[in-house]
Structure 1
């Protein structure tokens, strides 16, 4: 293909292949690239590419991946501003490649539901070196980990991202992956201690995140700089039998007298694809508690009187809640019920007044 493109070029010095800025490479089946860097197919990557998507063959279809080298030219990696890699190999190819991505601003790593992440061996000398010195990505602003199992978070123990603004963790939908209180510790160490990017960090997206009760609350308390929070398909596992906690209860302090409010800079909250069986009825009341925790108001007057808000306007500007559609709920007519409409109007008034000075 490269040779064919070369013949079409009117300029013998710069062919059409060499002018490409964005490239996607997808490999399937057995790995056939040469062990000799001079003969590697990666040597034909156009020199002007700044955006690269690399999909490597799945580990299950390979004989042995630990010692397979990726001969990606350092000059190409150092030029990239956007890089996406899909890899579940058990060697150290991932950190070896990432160490040269010094100009990458947008990074996506797809772990392909890797069940072990054997590439991370804390006893290995090279891994220990990465842990101590760090894989510094000085220009990285957005980081996305896709199809991640719990072990994939070990990558955060290696990276240093001093100006990171957005982190997306898209977990595998596996019922056995329930995150405990080590999760907020991992986030805190990565954002505040290792990267020191709390001054720029603003957005957190968690997809298919399941955790024990209190874990999400601890994570939010550790990341006060967040302005945009998205939880897609979230699930909280209760420590109390026969009681299903509501997701919103994880986003405000249980003790309203606690001066350290959760998410003090939050501007946008999106709770997407909630389980209607777990969140439908209780969520109505938790919305009220959540909003009250954001900005208290005085209800001592008659209901006909206007609410009197206490304190300055809140930072929250957007609250979105969507639910998974089921046959039962897709056919319901609850939206037209008087009780529902009165509750809806009350919350609408609350939201309108939420950020308006009293």
Structure 2
């Protein structure tokens, strides 16, 4: 059969795709050739139909496969994949921060303060160091360090995208914590770590864990004079923050000598360009008598011209009639914008030092003066002539934030007799949480005394800029509850411009409500803090062994009564009337066991619902759904899990999906 004898195949209309050429259903005949038999035509058409069907099936299969391949690409990627690298870097920086600075962390837990801390420094553990170095210097690292993986390294193991973000962000590698006693292998690891920070300002935190202590007072071999440590400081430029923790006065002296010796007898450039310096002094056993030596007066002469200075745990020799000399140059004090000072005795030295801090904006003072200490620590001694007349007042006009921790109330009377803070905006007053119970039971009006010495109750002397007040110490180990009578006295005598109030610790809410009702009934009551916008009740139920479970319901009633409202008799709807109250946010933080009654006011409370209907946002901290019901299937008040409380406000989804979901 010649080529002309082959019939032209015609595809059915259903098999024609866009762009295809449709072939007419006919058979080509050569010239002079007669038409084929109908049977041959039918066979040819059947072959064409089967072939077209096979082609269409194959095309459909290919298109289905293409659709399966394109389907994952068509799906929208998770929001985390669409997040810009800059936002991820901010999240990673927050997730890898080590915690608060030493002063504020000491409010929370002394053991934690001794271990961690640092102004936002990452807790980069020594597990990064090579195994040989760890075996050589294992005495410098606590076992807990070795069992903990660094948070920053963990983030790089999630995915390639996160690893690229971390490795390209120099800021994440610019902050580091290590022990001062470094080996050669450790030095190389730290240098490679800082190399990723490039030219970003670097922060180095030097510390070691207890029970290891530097015994340079006896052996003259100081951890802080380690040559590898000095090489790290010299080779790394742009060191902006340096934190020297758990050192003795001799450690700091030896450190300065080593730094000068490595630079030919003078302080190096990196030392003179520091922005932040933290010195966390600790006493040694046997007691280092360096503070009693004449050289102690010149201990702080070598301080660099920093803008942020922290002198933590300055202690005198116990049972010795001596004290430290805070002999810091006036030029250094004048250049400070932030000062954190922990000081365990009063006298004129503190006043003489603070009078030069005219540019300080953030001031934190921990005056650890207690009645059981040597009276010589709280007496002016030979410095009495240095005290100015009581009519002299020193103004610190730029202080906007003041944190004051005290142990014994009379101990802080002398300094604040002479100091004024006209530009104060934020004030935090706390009693040392490590005090014994007998101390706070004796001084039940301690907070009001301190605030009165700060002139906060005086209309003419109180700073008109004050907006935020926090009372009580931070941390779940606080054992210093607030006294209801003292608290009501404070709130009733504060100036009306306070907008933010935080109460850290428990108080007798029933007694507080009773005092308020008695004042209102006698016509002597007043609206407490009329400009209040935010109220925080923190650290509740932390001292239940002293006060029992904290009952929040009376205070919720007080918050409700702050608002002017009227209730429609027909439908029971409550509406606000003028004048409106400015309170718009309440934060409640409760540490509780599963069956504690502290959560009961938050489980279907009508008062709470009324407060929320006023537009007040109520956030709950320290909340866990497991704590709403007991382990045996009962509610926190002992009722069955299908009772009223379990089907209350959480069952309708308001708390789980509403305003509180973010705080939970």
**TM-score, normalisation: structure 2:** 0.44
Q: Which residue of 2 aligns with 1:160?
A: 420
Q: Which residue of 2 aligns with 1:317?
A: 584
- Asked whether 1:343 is paired with 2:605, we answer yes
Of 282-291 and 193-202, the range deviating more from structure 2: 193-202
What is the distance in 2 between the residues matched to 1:319 and 1:216?
18
SS of structure 2 residue aligned to 1:24: strand
Q: Which residue of 2 aligns with 1:263?
A: 529
Which of 554, 557, 568 matches 1:288? 557
Q: Is the 8 A contact 1:170 1:207 kept in 2?
A: yes
Question: Alpha-carbon deviation of 1:149?
Answer: 2.5
SS of structure 1 residue aligned to 2:614: helix
Q: Is the 8 A contact 1:230 1:272 kept in 2?
A: yes
SS of structure 2 residue aligned to 1:52: strand
Q: Which residue of 1 aligns with 2:155?
A: none
Question: Alpha-carbon deviation of 1:164?
Answer: 0.9
Question: Alpha-carbon deviation of 1:188?
Answer: 3.9
Residues 270-285 of structure 1 aligned to structure 2 (within 5 Å): 270-275=536-541, 282-285=551-554
SS of structure 1 residue aligned to 2:520: coil
- Where in structure 1 are there 5+ consecutive unaligned residues? 237-243
Q: Which residue of 2 aligns with 1:151?
A: 410
Question: Alpha-carbon deviation of 1:15?
Answer: 1.0
Q: Which residue of 1 aligns with 2:565?
A: 297
Computing the radius of gyration over CA atoms, which structure comes out larger, 1 or 2? 2
Q: Is the 8 A contact 2:504 2:539 kept in 1?
A: yes
Which of 343, 347, 351 matches 1:95? 351
SS of structure 2 residue aligned to 1:287: helix
What is the distance in 2 between the residues matched to 1:222 and 1:290?
18
- Asked whether 1:221 is paired with 2:485, we answer no
Question: Alpha-carbon deviation of 1:82?
Answer: 0.5
What is the distance in 2 between the residues matched to 1:184 and 1:135?
22
Higher helix share: 2
What is the distance in 2 between the residues matched to 1:8 and 1:251?
67
SS of structure 1 residue aligned to 2:456: helix
- Output one character per residue of 1:8-40: Cα deviation in whole Å (capped at 9) or x when no partner: 88xx99611111010011333335366369x82
What is the distance in 2 between the residues matched to 1:234 and 1:316?
21
Q: Which residue of 1 aligns with 2:171?
A: none
Change (3 A) 1:170 1:94: same
Q: Which residue of 1 aligns with 2:309?
A: 52
Q: Which residue of 2 aligns with 1:201?
A: 466
- Output one character per residue of 1:295-334: Cα deviation in whole Å (capped at 9) or x when no partner: 12112424x44212121332112111222324643xx897
What is the distance in 2 between the residues matched to 1:139 and 1:334?
42
Which of 280, 284, 303 matches 1:26? 280
Q: Is the 8 A contact 2:504 2:538 kept in 1?
A: yes
**TM-score, normalisation: structure 1:** 0.77
- Where in structure 2 are there 5+ consecutive unaligned residues? 1-254, 474-479, 618-664
